[in-house]
Amino acid sequence: MGKRLLVQRRGRGGSVFRYPGWKKVGPAKYRVYREEELKGVLRGKVIDLLHDPGRGAPLAKIVFEDKSEMLTVAVEGLYVGQIIEYGERAAPRRGNILPLSAIPEGTKICNIELNPGDGGKIARSSGTYAILLAKSGKKALIQLPSGKTKEVNVRCRATIGVVAAGGRTEKPFLKAGKKYHLSRSKAWKYPVVRGKAMGAYAHPHGGGAHPKGGTPVPRTAPPGQKVGHIAPRRTGRRKG
């Protein structure tokens, strides 16, 4: 009997594959959504900029006038001691949090909610931003970091500015050890060896029997068999 495949081990679970949530600073999302609170303006102060293990962008810790605290993704130019405004009547300045209905068209925004109250879902990784293109009725059209456009509710909240740490991905790792420590913070299994490079006893694609690897696998295959081309629409050379 051969070795247990990586996908089988991951499916079984264990300490190696457990998400290291205990290392995290806390949930990085907006405060509880209250319509009446959002209509005015609430001021807060950035008391600290924190590193969150496994996250490329720093987190800003904000304490509001009502003594409540919030962790959110920091934008470029944000500094400790800066006063942040939250609400419809807040000025559309860098770092302020407003509903899309109160943000001018053409503004660069980040940490955007998909649905009012979900805490922020879009454009949260380092150096990313979206652009508010247009508003019509209850819908706002935004251009995502990928270039695609999406409609969301105008009551969704967003932060003015670009997420900090933009040049992070441009620096090469240089050493395998750097990649290893990143994998530990993100619960990756590193390094990942190709099945084709293994022996026949260790993987269905191993042994070097076929120059193109294994045959396609159906969608209904069990985890130990589901490796390589999974339910491809077609294989081989395109005809015509």
Q: Are 228 and 235 in contact (CB under 8 A)?
A: no
pLDDT at 182 over 80: yes
The domains found in the chain, sorted by start residue, are: 1-18+187-240 (4.10.950.10), 22-167 (2.30.30.30)
Q: What is the pTM of this model?
A: 0.83
Give the pLDDT band of residue 213 (cuts 50, 70, 90): low
Residues 209-231, mean pLDDT to the nearest whole number: 79
Spell out the residues 6+ positions from residue 155 whose beta carbon is closer than 8 angstroms to its own. 35, 38, 99, 100, 101, 116, 138
Radius of gyration of the chain (CA): 23
Name which of 86-90, 164-168, 213-217 the model is least confident about: 213-217
Token couple for 85: 């405004």
Over residues 8-40, the pLDDT tens digits come to 888 888 888 888 999 999 999 999 999 999 999
Token couple for 82: 């800066």
Q: Dihedrals φ, ψ of 11, to 5°?
A: -70, -35
Rounded (5°) CA angle 31-37-43: 70
Spell out the residues 6+ positions from residue 136 whose beta carbon is closer than 8 angstroms to its own. none
Q: Which amino acid is at 196?
A: K
Q: Is 97 helix (H, G, I), strand (E, B) or coil?
A: strand
Q: Dihedrals φ, ψ of 114, to 5°?
A: -85, -35
Over residues 72-130, the pLDDT tens digits come to 999 999 999 999 999 999 999 999 999 999 999 999 999 999 999 999 999 999 999 99
